[in-house]
Amino acid sequence: MQRTRSMISIIMLVLLLAGCAGTQSRNTDPENDPWEGYNRKVYAFNEGMDKVVRPIAVGYDKIMPDPLQRGVGNFFRNLDAVVTYVNLVLQGKFRESADTFGRFFINSTAGLLGFIDVASKLGIPFYNEDLGQTMATWGYDDSRYLMLPFFGPSTFRDGTGRLADSFYHPVGRAIHGYGKWGMLIFRGIDTRARYLDQDAELESAYDPYVLMRDVWMQNRRYQIYDGDPPMLDYDLYLEDDYAPEEPATSDKQ
Amino acid sequence: MKLKVLLILVFVLFFSNGLFAQTQADDPVSLVERITGQIFTDVTENLDEYTANPEALEDLVRNDLMPLLDINYSARLILGRAGRGLPKEKIDEFATCMTNLLINRYSKSLLHFSSKIKLQVLPQRGDLNPKLTRVRTRISLPEGGEAPVDYAFHKTPEGWKAFDVVVEGISYVTTYRNQIMPEVQANGIDSVIERLSTGQMQLAE
């Protein structure tokens, strides 16, 4: 309980910092990213962390044979089913939640604790949900971008959702002191290793911070709409005054 | 007997060919099916040759793909406000640079994956919008799972043309717009073209 409280105070501190971030110099997307000054600081912090994490991830990627690494990915993905299941129920998607339950059961048993994705071979569909997506479907569909220390891109809504989900996520529970830190760190390294291919692109970008934000925000929207978002309004891109020079303050929460 | 069979065969072939020509529709879904099918078959059949000579593959991709693309429209969308007042030649030059990068990248991934992946073009949903539509495709990856790749098409006087690729919800136009528009505004179009053509900027997937 003590650890939970300290976790909450860290979150409060992060939010407080975010609230003070009114003096930023840059504002590339005032509508979606009103906390850009703060977010860029956290981004720089994460980049610093990456100087340590990346070499470990590179080593891990080299040592691990591909099939084993795939197995590890399957294992963690299978544990996510717990969060997906709860949130499918919260969204009223009962057929999908039944599928997810079946998938978790089969992969945890026949799939040897999830290392082998038997359910996919049997044609059971895969879903990915979390509380952030649930809140989005409940009507909280726009939220300001929030860069989380260690965990990376998020929004205010999704960061809150993530914290709530972590109380019962088999691996995420570690941050509240109920689970194994080792697992959480292992997952972090495994996840980092999966993004190694993208490093060169990020580095060569004109503004890596903006690239990461764009890619994450677009992909998130895609997840929220379960892979079928409405088509972009390309006409807006041709209009002269699409991106306002003197933006008003964001009304997003 | 043999002759009869042969005649029937010729007739069937001829007829089906004629039928094919007639139904060779120019709606976006058929276009994507036809062109990607064409490219995939060619690459799988001549994989060794293309591995030895990647430039030949780039030429093939360029020949097959270019008639399908509206590269100037993509360029205008990417440049946005930064493209206002630029001479037409500059926009053309920029569009060509972006397309070269795209074709280069596409050819490279074809060489890597064409023998291992399967491409599925999903049917048009509902009625075809007369001006703007998207074609949804699914690429099954060698390690399992699927990557959704959508193409945005719009109707031009020369027929349907693609102007955006969207991979897992991430739009090529949107992503590059947010990188390139500020860069053009800060450093000018020439510097950006220079950076693009010397390969200092890589294309995100």
Minimum-distance CB partner of A28 among B148, B164, B182:
B182
The pLDDT of residue B10: 55
Asked if residue B84 lies in contact with residue B185, where contact means CB atoms within 8 angstroms, the answer is no
> Would the pLDDT of B108 be above 70?
yes
List, in order, residues 6 or more apart from B85 with CB less than 8 Å away.
none
Q: Please state, in angstroms and rounded to a whole number, the distance separating the CA atoms of residues B128 and B3.
A: 46
Q: Please state, in angstroms and rounded to a whole number, the distance separating the CA atoms of residues A76 and A114.
A: 8
Tell me which chain B residues have a C-beta less than 8 angstroms from the C-beta of A234.
Answer: 77, 132, 152, 154, 163-164, 173
Segment A86-138, tens digit of pLDDT? 999 999 999 999 999 999 999 999 989 999 999 988 989 999 999 999 999 99
The pLDDT of residue A17: 55
Between B83 and A252, the more confident residue is B83
Alpha helices in chain A, H assignment, sequence order: 2-19, 36-63, 66-90, 94-109, 118-121, 131-137, 156-166, 181-194, 199-204, 208-224, 235-238
Q: What is the CATH number of domain B3-198?
A: 3.10.450.710
Asked if residue A131 lies in contact with residue A153, where contact means CB atoms within 8 angstroms, the answer is no
Angle between helices B88-113 and B54-65 (to 10 degrees): 120
The pLDDT of residue A80: 93
Structure tokens at A230: 């409405």
DSSP at B27:
S
CA-nearest of B205, B199, B153 to B175 is B205
Residues in chain A, pLDDT under 70: 1-25, 179, 240-250
Minimum-distance CB partner of B202 among A117, A120, A204:
A204
The pLDDT of residue B115: 66
Asked if residue A163 lies in contact with residue A173, where contact means CB atoms within 8 angstroms, the answer is no
The pLDDT of residue A4: 53
The pLDDT of residue B19: 45
- Is there a contact between A231 and B132 if contact means CB atoms under 8 Å apart? yes
The pLDDT of residue A2: 47
Q: What's the one-letter identity of residue B58?
A: E
Say what the pTM is: 0.82
DSSP at A245:
S
- Helix/strand/coil for A215: helix
Tell me the domain boundaries of chain A: 2-22+29-227
- Is there a contact between B201 and A206 if contact means CB atoms under 8 Å apart? yes
Separation in Å, CA of B106 to nearest CA in chain A: 15
Asked if residue B31 lies in contact with residue B67, where contact means CB atoms within 8 angstroms, the answer is no
pLDDT band at B204 (very low <50, low <70, confident <90, very high): very low
List the single residue in B with minimal CA-CA distance to A29.
B178
Question: In this predicted complex, what is the ipTM?
Answer: 0.80
Tell me the domain boundaries of chain B: 3-198
Segment B160-181, tens digit of pLDDT? 999 999 989 999 999 999 998 8
Q: Say which residue the tokens 């003096």 belong to.
A: A23
The pLDDT of residue B60: 87
Asked if residue B192 lies in contact with residue B176, where contact means CB atoms within 8 angstroms, the answer is no
Asked if residue A154 lies in contact with residue A39, where contact means CB atoms within 8 angstroms, the answer is no
- Is there a contact between A214 and B148 if contact means CB atoms under 8 Å apart? no
Q: Does A244 touch chain B (CB under 8 A)?
A: no
Segment B8-63, tens digit of pLDDT? 555 555 544 444 444 456 788 988 888 888 888 888 888 888 888 888 888 888 88
A73-112 residues touching B, CB cutoff 8 A: none
List, in order, residues 6 or more apart from A227 with CB less than 8 Å away.
B148, B169
The pLDDT of residue B21: 45
DSSP at A206:
S
Q: Hey, what's the torsion of the CAs at B42, B43, B49, B52, to 10 degrees?
A: 150
